[in-house]
């Protein structure tokens, strides 16, 4: 598999969840685990450009796939020329800070990955579409107000 | 303030964000050390059972398994000096049966640990747990407060009652009795505060690392309370306190659920110490229903006596509170934290409160965002709406008629509950909220829909809350039998290069301490907030502190920082005066610079004095080198934030579905250090309270089995369930501290459950519905609309 642009190969137990492989073996701990029922979305990564909850997938199922985690998101933004601001982040990361869309930050990597994937599918969503689109990602701190605002701000649709 | 950036009052972006946004920060489960062993917990699958036998042989034979310990074996190893601690024995005769980290002969709730496995990996530990065979002798379970109070079964077989304590607060019994003698209006209402699962997004986790040379143990824990944990681990394990170091790395939310002293923390420390190897555990979400304490769990009875105009003569309240199976750190005290608030923001001449605490065979309860105060606010604010209906006035008018000091500004008001409210200005806050909500337009729209028989009925609900935070004056806590104080500690030091280090006793888990404390220093000392670093959450760096809960960080900890900065400035002033060969009294301090009054051209910036204090070549006679000052601030009083929340709901006549369509909050938390952070705290708090009203309930069957333990069926709301919120503020500085700050962490939750339920009941009033239990599920609402019981 390719992870954040680097080819990685490993022998894994067939039952190893992708999220545990990313976290425990590849030491990419930005991707978090918040539940055990694929409900919370804290483990969301991109596989071949689309958001996937990495706890719903076995590592072996990702064989040959291109995986992007939060650690690699800014690099992809730099590669496509869309990084912004002093921090040279992906625009969504920048928007999350600007809009105070994170507090404890535990859901944040998954939320950012889900939000960028959502905009890939629907570049100009309404507020309702953002809310529906992020339904699979839970946050306990923000009440979602500033998360929705942040996502819309990257499309020029902030209210 | 030219040298100052990011001072008090600025919506400064957070310093915490870059690491969190890029995945660079470390939560406990992100940290690994060589040779670590994973704990796997064998948990009781019954709510109440005697342990007949435990066969660990199958598990021990599995690959990667190091060892398996039963509760009896751990007791025989003499790992425990004392049971798990309860720091708040609310009465002298409170029952507090011993609670061991691992059950020895009887388990008393689903999820109580009966054995612990140690294995080389996460997966091997989980596998081995499945191969420990436990034979149980099942006992009748006490699965509800009503069963504890009225039934025959006992949660603890060795006790002849389930009632753990009765606590009363009746300052003037005669006045209370007189108030309820033939009142013109008498409200008598019962409410259920359902159990809630706090559900911080980061599950709890621990990693204990022994030091092979010195015998020290470092415990990384996803905790809100590293300092309290250190004392309590020493007390319960007998390990020397000075050999313990507790680190709370990045902590992914707490909401009260991470302020306890938990079996896993004690197991990790003692087993790491015994084995000389690192020991770790990370909670799974489904495990959390039995491994992390829950919130609420009260049956409330409240009465209001009022005259013919609806002016309150007296309030009395009684709670039956669910302790769960054991007393944890502050389990019995949660109800007490709310007791003083059953009079709300109102001028109540006579007051009485009592609480019976009951053991059940359910997960222990303890603090959850608001801890006692959302419950109190809910009861009085629901009851005020009932009183309004009896008097025949609107919910806004009944509140205006009863506000402390007629709703006008006051300071230091003694309430019938005996507490001194620091400051308030309630009526302008209400009017601002009603205006922001366009209350009159909403009422007209509601009337129009009712007239038209619209399938979507509108409900408008309000809550005018007050809360107690800034926990707390140590003497007040002592008076309530709490086991510790309520001060907070801070150190401020100027480094030789002029940079500033702040050591914070209060610890963050999402609140933004690093940002807010930098802002306080920026304003006080006239330095850039970029020049400030905040050290926290590690008892080796920050040895003194009482941590974070009860909306105390700013009102106690932030004030300590401000005071320490002032002390440092005073010392720096002496150095500046020495350099100027002037009297300190002739110096002024503006924007971080000292100058002789009247001659501003000659000045020295405080950051330039850091090196002078460090080099100590030419300090005033007798002055110690270095610029470092510390303060332990013990607040003289609590702080009392308040506000008005207005919720607007739409109820679908066909499905009974309730949609929260608008939410307006005008809060008053006194002076604001970072308005952006305040607003974020309110947003999250509001949704947590609304979630209690509409979606969340920890359910158990009659045998005490949790029936919705995972996120599949415990309904933490998503973005799709909630609207944008409209927030605004009034500012009434607190008299309890020199910054005038009050607290905002719990306010949203304290205001919102009542506002939303008042809106639901308001929407249903044409159907003759007068009350509804939380959560207002479609099924409950639909049944109520059909005239059935809610």
B266 closest CA partner among B40, B509, B42, B100: B100
pLDDT category of residue A77 using cuts at 50, 70 and 90 = confident
Give the per-residue pLDDT at A52: 98
Q: What is the CATH number of the domain that holds A36?
A: 3.10.20.30
pLDDT category of residue B788 using cuts at 50, 70 and 90 = low
Three-state SS for B452?
helix
Which residues constitute the domain of residue A149?
Answer: 82-153
B571 closest CA partner among B516, B504, B614, B623: B623
Cα separation, B272 vs B254, whole angstroms: 25
Q: Which region, left, alpha or beta, applies to residue B474 given φ > 0 means left and ψ of -120 to 50 means alpha?
A: alpha
Predicted confidence (pLDDT) per residue in B40-98, tens digit: 999 999 999 999 999 999 999 999 999 999 999 999 999 999 999 999 999 999 999 99
Per-chain mean pLDDT for chain B: 96
Q: Tell me which chain A residues have a C-beta less than 8 angstroms from the C-beta of B285.
A: 34-37, 40
Give the per-residue pLDDT at B3: 42
Give the per-residue pLDDT at B2: 35
Three-state SS for A124?
coil
Which positions 5-44 of B are in contact with A (Cβ < 8 Å)?
Answer: 13-14, 16-27, 29-30, 32
Mean pLDDT of B480-487: 94
B255 closest CA partner among B35, B484, B550, B674: B550
On whether both A127 and A93 belong to a single domain, the answer is yes
Cα separation, B333 vs B670, whole angstroms: 26
Q: Would A86 be classed as within a structural domain? A: yes
B530 touches chain A (CB under 8 A): no
On whether both A86 and A148 belong to a single domain, the answer is yes
pLDDT category of residue B215 using cuts at 50, 70 and 90 = confident
- The answer to whether residue A115 scores a pLDDT higher than 70 is yes
Return the residue of B nearest to A144 by Cα. B719
Spatial strand order in the sheet of B113-119: B65-70, B113-119, B37-43, B279-282, B205-210, B217-221, B244-247
- The answer to whether residue B376 scores a pLDDT higher than 80 is yes
Q: Boundaries of CATH 3.90.1170.50 in chain B?
A: 31-139+201-253+258-291
Q: Boundaries of CATH 3.30.365.10 in chain B?
A: 17-24+487-633, 295-471+637-785
Q: Would A159 be classed as within a structural domain? A: no
Return the residue of A nearest to B511 by Cα. A103
Of A87, A102, A134, the CB nearest to B20: A102
Contact B618, B612 (CB under 8 A): yes
Residue the block writes with tokens 């350099």 = B579
Question: How many C-beta atoms surround the C-beta of residue B768 within 10 A?
Answer: 9
Cα separation, B175 vs B656, whole angstroms: 44
Cα separation, B390 vs B387, whole angstroms: 5
Domain B31-139+201-253+258-291: give its CATH code. 3.90.1170.50
Give the per-residue pLDDT at A80: 82
Determine whether the interchain pair B23/A138 forms a contact, defined as Cβ–Cβ distance below 8 Å: no
Return the residue of B nearest to A146 by Cα. B680
A57 to chain B nearest CA, in Å? 16
Determine whether the interchain pair B23/A13 forms a contact, defined as Cβ–Cβ distance below 8 Å: no
Give the per-residue pLDDT at A79: 85
Q: Would A139 be classed as within a structural domain? A: yes
Q: Would A76 be classed as within a structural domain? A: no
Q: Would A15 be classed as within a structural domain? A: yes
Contact B531, B498 (CB under 8 A): yes
CATH 3.30.365.10 for domain B295-471+637-785, yes or no, is yes
Torsion over CA: B734, B736, B742, B746 (sign): negative
Q: Tell me which chain A residues have a C-beta less than 8 angstroms from the C-beta of B251.
A: 104
Pairing of strands B133-138, B295-306: unpaired
On whether both A61 and A121 belong to a single domain, the answer is no
Predicted confidence (pLDDT) per residue in B225-244, tens digit: 999 999 999 999 999 999 99
Q: Tell me which chain A residues have a C-beta less than 8 angstroms from the C-beta of B284.
A: 36
Q: Would A57 be classed as within a structural domain? A: yes
Determine whether the interchain pair B725/A143 forms a contact, defined as Cβ–Cβ distance below 8 Å: yes
Q: Which helix (H) or strand (E) holds A73?
A: helix A70-79
On whether both A62 and A98 belong to a single domain, the answer is no
Give the per-residue pLDDT at B404: 98
Give the per-residue pLDDT at A88: 87
B677 touches chain A (CB under 8 A): yes
Q: Would A44 be classed as within a structural domain? A: yes
What architecture (CATH level 2) is domain B17-24+487-633?
Answer: 2-Layer Sandwich (3.30)
Predicted confidence (pLDDT) per residue in B143-197, tens digit: 999 999 999 999 999 999 999 999 999 999 999 999 999 999 999 999 999 999 9
B418 touches chain A (CB under 8 A): no
A12 to chain B nearest CA, in Å? 13
Point out the domain boundary residue: A70, A93, A116. A70
A33 touches chain B (CB under 8 A): yes
Contact B275, B269 (CB under 8 A): no
ipTM of the complex: 0.97
Determine whether the interchain pair B21/A31 forms a contact, defined as Cβ–Cβ distance below 8 Å: no
- As to burial, measured by CB atoms within 10 angstroms (0-12 exposed, 13-18 middle, 19+ buried), residue B458 is buried
Percentage of residues of chain A with pLDDT beyond 90: 89
Among A140, A147, A159, the strongest candidate for a mutation testing the B interface, having the largest count of B CBs within 10 A, is A140
Per-chain mean pLDDT for chain A: 95
Pairing of strands B532-535, B500-504: parallel
Q: Would A75 be classed as within a structural domain? A: no
pLDDT category of residue B212 using cuts at 50, 70 and 90 = confident
B469 closest CA partner among B436, B506, B432: B506
Question: How many C-beta atoms surround the C-beta of residue B598 within 10 A?
Answer: 7
- B717: its two tokens: 């709301």
- The answer to whether residue B546 scores a pLDDT higher than 50 is yes
Give the per-residue pLDDT at B1: 35
Of B201, B683, B748, the CB nearest to A146: B683
Q: Tell me which chain A residues have a C-beta less than 8 angstroms from the C-beta of B21.
A: 70, 89, 93, 96-97, 102, 105, 108-109, 112
Which residues pair with residue B629 across a beta bridge?
Answer: B492
Which positions 725-754 of B are in contact with A (Cβ < 8 Å)?
Answer: 725, 748
Determine whether the interchain pair B510/A42 forms a contact, defined as Cβ–Cβ distance below 8 Å: no
On whether both A20 and A62 belong to a single domain, the answer is yes
- DSSP conformation class of B405: G
Which residues pair with residue B354 across a beta bridge?
Answer: B168, B318
Give the per-residue pLDDT at B577: 97
Q: How many CB pairs under 8 A join A and B?
A: 181
Q: Tell me which chain B residues have a C-beta less than 8 angstroms from the C-beta of A111.
A: none
pLDDT category of residue B600 using cuts at 50, 70 and 90 = confident
Cα separation, B747 vs B668, whole angstroms: 9
pLDDT category of residue A158 using cuts at 50, 70 and 90 = very low
Return the residue of A nearest to B723 by Cα. A145
Q: What is the pTM of this model?
A: 0.97
Predicted confidence (pLDDT) per residue in B732-767, tens digit: 999 999 999 999 999 999 999 999 999 999 999 999
- The answer to whether residue B4 scores a pLDDT higher than 70 is no
Helices B747-764 and B778-785: angle between axes, nearest 10 degrees: 30
Count of structural domains, chain A: 2
Give the per-residue pLDDT at A159: 45
Three-state SS for B322?
strand
Q: Which residues contact B546 (CB under 8 A, 6 or more apart)?
A: B227, B228, B484, B485, B486, B487, B488, B489, B505, B506, B552, B556
Displacement of CA B535 from its chain's centroid (Å): 22
Question: How many C-beta atoms surround the C-beta of residue B175 within 10 A?
Answer: 16
B511 touches chain A (CB under 8 A): yes
- The answer to whether residue B725 scores a pLDDT higher than 50 is yes
B511 to chain A nearest CA, in Å? 6
Of A36, A100, A137, the CB nearest to B676: A100
Cα separation, B159 vs B776, whole angstroms: 37
Among B12, B16, B17, the strongest candidate for a mutation testing the A interface, having the largest count of A CBs within 10 A, is B17
């Amino acid at each position: 598999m390719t992870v954040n642009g680097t080819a990685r190969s490993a022998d894994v137990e067939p039952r190893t969840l992708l999220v545990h492989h990313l976290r425990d073996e590849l030491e990419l701990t930005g991707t978090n685990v918040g539940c055990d029922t694929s409900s919370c979305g804290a483990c969301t990564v991109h596989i071949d450009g689309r958001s996937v909850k990495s706890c719903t997938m076995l590592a072996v199922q990702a064989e040959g796939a291109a995986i992007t985690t939060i650690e690699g998101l800014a690099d992809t933004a730099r590669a496509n020329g869309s990084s912004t601001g002093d921090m040279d982040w992906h625009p969504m990361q920048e928007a999350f800070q600007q809009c105070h869309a994170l507090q404890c930050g535990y859901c944040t990597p998954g939320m950012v990955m889900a939000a960028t994937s959502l905009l890939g599918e629907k570049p100009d969503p309404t507020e309702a579409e953002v809310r529906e689109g992020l339904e699979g990602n839970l946050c306990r701190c923000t009440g979602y107000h500033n998360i929705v605002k942040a996502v819309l701000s990257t499309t020029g649709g902030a209210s | 303030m030219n040298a100052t950036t990011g001072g008090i009052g600025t919506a400064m972006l957070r310093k915490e964000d870059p690491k969190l946004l890029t995945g660079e920060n470390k939560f406990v489960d992100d940290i690994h050390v060589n040779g670590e062993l994973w704990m796997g917990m064998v948990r009781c699958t019954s709510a109440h059972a005697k342990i007949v036998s435990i066969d660990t042989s199958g598990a021990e034979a599995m690959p990667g398994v190091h060892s398996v310990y039963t509760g009896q074996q751990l007791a025989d190893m003499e790992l425990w000096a004392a049971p798990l601690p309860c720091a708040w024995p609310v009465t002298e005769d409170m029952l507090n049966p011993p609670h061991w980290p691992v059950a020895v002969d009887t388990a008393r709730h689903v999820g109580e640990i009966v054995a612990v496995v140690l294995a080389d990996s996460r997966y091997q530990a989980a596998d081995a747990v499945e191969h420990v065979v436990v034979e149980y002798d099942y006992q009748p379970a006490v699965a509800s407060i009503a069963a504890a109070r009225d039934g025959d079964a006992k949660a603890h077989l060795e006790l002849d009652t389930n009632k753990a304590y009765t606590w009363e607060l009746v300052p003037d019994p005669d006045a209370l009795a007189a108030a309820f003698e033939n009142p013109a209006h008498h409200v008598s209402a019962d409410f259920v505060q359902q159990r809630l699962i706090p559900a911080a997004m980061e599950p709890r986790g621990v990693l204990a690392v022994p030091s092979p040379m010195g015998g020290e143990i470092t415990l990384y824990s996803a905790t809100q309370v590293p300092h309290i944990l250190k004392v309590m681990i020493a007390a319960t394990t007998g390990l020397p306190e000075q050999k313990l170091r507790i680190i709370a790395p990045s902590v992914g939310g707490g909401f009260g659920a991470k302020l306890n002293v938990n079996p896993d923390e004690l197991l990790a420390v003692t087993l790491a110490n015994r084995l000389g190897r690192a020991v770790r555990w990370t909670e799974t979400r489904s495990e959390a229903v039995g491994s992390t304490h829950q919130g609420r769990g009260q049956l409330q009875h409240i009465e209001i006596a009022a005259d013919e105009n609806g002016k309150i003569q007296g309030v009395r309240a009684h709670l039956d509170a669910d302790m769960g199976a054991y007393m944890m750190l502050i389990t019995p005290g949660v109800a007490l934290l709310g007791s003083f608030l059953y009079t709300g923001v109102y001028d109540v001449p006579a007051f009485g409160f009592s609480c019976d605490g009951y053991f059940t065979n359910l997960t222990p309860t303890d603090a959850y965002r608001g801890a006692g105060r959302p419950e109190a606010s809910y009861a009085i604010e629901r009851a005020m709406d009932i009183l309004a209906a009896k008097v025949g006035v609107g919910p806004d008018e009944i509140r205006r008629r009863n506000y402390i000091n007629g709703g006008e500004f006051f300071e230091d008001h003694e309430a019938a509950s005996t507490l001194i409210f620091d400051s308030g200005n309630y009526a302008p806050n209400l009017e601002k909220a009603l205006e922001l909500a366009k209350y009159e337009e909403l009422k007209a729209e509601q009337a129009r829909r009712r007239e038209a028989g619209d399938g979507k009925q509108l409900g408008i609900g309000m809550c005018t809350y007050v809360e107690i935070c800034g926990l707390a004056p140590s003497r007040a806590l002592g008076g309530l039998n709490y086991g510790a104080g309520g001060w907070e500690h801070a150190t401020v030091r100027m480094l030789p290069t002029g940079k500033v280090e702040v050591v914070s006793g209060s610890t963050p888990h999402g609140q933004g301490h690093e940002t807010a404390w930098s802002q306080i220093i920026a304003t006080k000392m006239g330095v850039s907030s970029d020049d400030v670093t905040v050290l926290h959450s590690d008892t080796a760096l920050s040895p003194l502190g009482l941590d974070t809960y009860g909306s105390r960080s700013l009102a106690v900890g932030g004030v300590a920082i401000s005071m320490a900065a002032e002390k440092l400035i005073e010392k720096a002033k002496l150095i500046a005066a020495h350099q100027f060969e002037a009297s300190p009294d002739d110096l002024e301090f503006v924007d971080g610079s000292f100058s002789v009054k009247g001659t501003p051209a000659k000045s020295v910036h405080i950051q330039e004095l850091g090196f002078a204090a460090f080099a100590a070549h030419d300090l005033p006679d007798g002055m110690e080198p270095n610029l470092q000052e510390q303060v332990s601030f013990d607040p003289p009083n609590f702080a009392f934030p308040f506000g008005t929340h207005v919720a607007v709901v739409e109820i679908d006549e066909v499905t009974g579905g309730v949609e929260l369509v608008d939410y307006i909050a005008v809060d008053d938390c006194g002076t604001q250090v970072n308005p952006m952070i305040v607003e974020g705290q309110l947003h999250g708090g509001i949704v947590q309270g609304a979630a209690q009203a509409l979606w969340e309930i920890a359910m158990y069957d009659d045998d005490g089995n949790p029936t919705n333990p995972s996120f599949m069926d415990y309904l933490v709301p998503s973005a799709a369930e909630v609207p944008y919120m409209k927030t605004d503020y009034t500012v009434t500085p607190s008299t309890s501290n020199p910054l005038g700050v009050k607290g905002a962490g719990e306010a949203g939750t304290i205001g919102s459950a009542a506002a939303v339920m008042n809106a639901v009941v308001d929407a249903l009033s044409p159907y003759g519905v007068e009350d509804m239990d939380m959560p207002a599920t479609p099924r409950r609402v639909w049944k109520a609309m059909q005239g059935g019981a809610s």
